[in-house]
Structure 1
């Protein structure tokens, strides 16, 4: 049995691009949630900063997340928001 993988993708939109970034992320939600091995794929907005988004993900394992990163909708997401925002990805393992 493989360990679940948790991913936090922090996306900070450049000034005047928050709505556009949010709209692009929303397009990737449904297809990501339908992927095999996806247990959670949620878009969160920072209550203190409306330009800071977090995608909270839970995958069955690293292989499922790696497959996700090869999908067209993921590649399109990254390609579209890269010029509009900074992106930081943290991958976490469950300890307890």
Structure 2
């Protein structure tokens, strides 16, 4: 069975007072991630009603590419920073498109 594309949704909540720093650090992930093998899109969003909430919408060619991405140095660095910058752990969910 061939690998299927995978969609990733990541929800992030910054600690009070850390919103600008979290946004800067997350923006640093955009260019290197978008150049990774298998990255179809890597889009960052910030809630209109709450500057502390961020959401990533990502699409990867396959789960293997996603796994490789999660081990990339820039992502490992972010995960280390997140421990002190975030109000709660990141919420990451995987999704697959339903074809009908």
In structure 2, stretches of 5+ residues that fail to align are none
User: What root-mean-square deviation, in Å, do the aligned CA atoms of Structure 1 and Structure 2 show?
Assistant: 0.9
Q: Which has the larger radius of gyration?
A: 2
In structure 1, stretches of 5+ residues that fail to align are none
TM superposition score normalised by structure 1: 0.95
Which protein has the bigger strand share? 1
Q: Where has structure 1 moved over 2 Å in runs of 4 or more?
A: none
Does the 8 Å CA contact 1:44/1:53 hold for their aligned counterparts? Answer: yes
Count of paired positions: 96
Query: How far apart, CA to CA, are the structure 2 residues paired with 1:17 and 1:59?
Result: 29
What do residues 10-58 of structure 1 show as CA deviations (whole Å, max 9, x unaligned)? Answer: 0000100010001001111100000000001011001111100001110
Query: How far apart, CA to CA, are the structure 2 residues paired with 1:29 and 1:14?
Result: 21
Other-structure match for 1:48: 49
Does the 8 Å CA contact 1:24/1:81 hold for their aligned counterparts? Answer: no
TM superposition score normalised by structure 2: 0.91
